Structure 1
Amino acid sequence: MEASKCSSKVQLLAFISFFFAFLATGSCSAQVPLLIWSSDSLPPLASPAAGHITSSDQWTAYLTSTFSSGSHTVLLFLQDKLSKDDFTVFGGVFGNKQDNVFHNLEAALQSASSSVIFQASEWLGSSAILALLQDKLDVSPLHVDPDTLAELSINTSVNNLLVISLPYCTGLHKPCKDILHGNDEIIGKVLSMVKAKNIPYTAIYTGLQPSRVISESSVLNQPAGRSLLQAPVPDVKPPIMFNVSGNPCIMLWAQNLNVSISGTLPWVDLATETPSVTKSRCSSNSSLLVLSYTSGYTLSFYMSQRFYPGSARNWFTLDMVQLQYKDLTGVFLGSRDISAPAEYSYHCSFVSSVEEPLLVPNNSDNKNTSQWMLNFVDFQIQGFGLANGTNFSYASDCAGFFSPGIWMGLVTGLIMLLILVYGLHMITHLNTMDRFDDPNGPLISVPQTE
């Protein structure tokens, strides 16, 4: 009897330990859809259960078996970001909406000889799928433009890996529905060109990274008991981002981008509008972020990086900010304070051309520039070394270590210390009298001299 009780306690403790260990593993699960269709037959695949997440080993093994023999022409439609929610929200493969934007994609899946859909596959990194296909096909990827694909000569006797990069709505001036609809048109256009040339193909549609990460919060972190109703936290707007071949190159975020031209127009906050960044460019030594707004304003940030022997590292600086409105142009030169190590981002709570200016009007270029004003609130920018995907690198802040509050505290503390030292000095130098009045004795007489 006692042995059975002990065994039950051990099983109960083991179950509790497993339960809490399972809860402790609650984290962010990142998955991307993987859609494959082909003009030829694909290896069979059992339909996964609802909610099943395909592991990296499973989809790697499937792609290995798909391209194990023969020559293949692979069309890789690689979108900057993609999640299952993009289909369920805007219609398509997993959705049932009337305003479906994936007409060409659905038609391709239905008309293909065979197709396989991994609704949620484990995401390993932005270059995982491209590196795997490059290894299995033993060929270098060729990034092609859909407009010039018709002029490309494809040899079907060897393996071909054609990569078509597709944008996502983050940082662009169009809504997500329009961006995804444009990507669907590109998919239909490329497939039409390939079919017109009678080229057997295998197409893959996936994303460089998930557009949404589902947070699996642990039960242990949930507050117990009663709690007050709280106002929902407002969503933070995403940073403005310029990508090159699907990789982030320049990133900017600001709470306010206030501009005023020649003192005649009122202040305008450009941060409330969504700009176009198509005219931007970047290289290893210089970057240019051009924000074009539908209201007629164009804000350009010129950045450069160079090596400084004194610090033995590369630094990037914001050399110039140019503001254009219709036929008016104002140029502001960045001071030396707007700089940071090349692998960092630059942040400042207030960048202005008026009060304590970090942006100096270039009157030699335009005599009216001194009448123009820029005020950037909570400003952060990075033009080089974006290695963290959609996140800024460590920020180099413009605020000095000795702020006005610190100086006030130091001066006040120094004054109090001087008062204390003076008081101690007075106490230590007090002298007692060597004679005292005795009420029973004669009075002390103090001779006076004239």
Structure 2
Amino acid sequence: MATAKMRAFNSIAVSFAVLFLEITIGKCDEQVPLILWTSEGFSLPSQSPPTAGHIVGREQLSSYLGKALSVGPRNVLLFLQDKMSIEDFTMYGGAFGNKQDSVFPNLEGALRSSPSPLVLPAVSWPASNAVIGQIQDQLETSPLYMDPETLSQLRLNASSPALLVFRLPYGTGADLMSAREILSGNDEVIGQVLSIMKTQSVPYTSIYTALRPSREPASLSLEAGVGGGRSLLQNRGGYKERERERMMKEKAGSTYGPVEFKGEGDNTCILMWARNLSVSILRGGRWEGYDLSPSTFGEGVSPKLHGSSCDQTKSRLVLNYEGVLGHRDFKLIFAMSQSHYKVSARRWFTLDALELEYDGTKAMFNGSRSIYAPAEYSYRCESVSSFRWPALVPRSSKDPANQWRVSFEDFQIQGFNVTGSDFSYASDCASFFTPGIWMGLMTSLLMVLVLTYGLHMIMQLRTMDRFDDPKGPAISVPQTE
């Protein structure tokens, strides 16, 4: 058995190494790795990994996951990192260098103990973005966003499926040490989760992947000093130019188009975009969350918009989902209107309501007090939520919306006067008097008050009208009893 495990782990190392050799000479800026393994004593059906250089798409990934979950444990631990590339393993992993310097001891230990791990070194990031929905369809259950502390209080059942999602960060700076420390911290989180599952004696299937690639091979070769010397001799700014180009490509590759609804004449009349759309419901004293982003945005994703409508005064964007937090049919509705206001002598549009419809129930949030913009503009805000500095509030204390939380990050919407498929100029929600401006104003006011008090004290000083002359008679002051 030990020999079989060592062979499996060696094959993993060989597949990583072969792919690393390929990506150092070819372009690989849209791929993320995916690692799948099971707890001890549970074997997965034999699945041949893809050939070196082959990028696994959404359908092929669904096939891999379907075969694994049809036989393996149906308690799935999904470790979803913000960014990750194969270079993170080749640079920091012990399988490709000194094991004492590895930042993945818990991950590598889990792979060694697993009877049949599966490594997909090159998965297209749109496919990895959809992995939550694919697993959800396989298990027919909603995902639960967890952390180790919450997991320790949860009691799982081996007979009922569960999808537990653990979000892991990734360093965004250029400092390699910061990325190393963050990856090491993520590995510790994986170790804590696996230890908790082992103490509960619950079999599991684990998946470790990411939403976006973290780096490009060109930047890695420059960091390692490979092939960059000649260009640096020719151009002193070669490294900075390449780094700037890499960051621009990464930014361009990490974006996706907005949700677009076309009305009469096949003309776009509603646009909506967000980096993250999530909803949560209160059940048993705990908030259960669900990420709607993978089902709404991304390459190849076509959200269902039936029920949407638009005209000159009202627009209605309806996003239809299935299987959200246990609800078979779930709708997220943005109801907007525009009107002419005499005070400002112009037309404005407002988000009158955000509605959640599920199983015949309707929860309504009012957004007209905070979400508005000139009719020819779009509205944008870094964060729109119903619980932290809420821009969305329930219509009444008895509304079912009090049992829900909604959160949108980098939210932008336009319901009127859309030209083409691009947003108009954005009216940002940030107020003119930001905290920095208020601090400057208060500091200036305090300094003015101090200066005014000092001038007042100086002006109150009075000198004596008579002085003692040493050559003349002394000044006598009569004393009265």
TM-score (norm 2): 0.44
Q: Choose 1 or 2 for highest CA Rg.
A: 1
TM-score (norm 1): 0.47
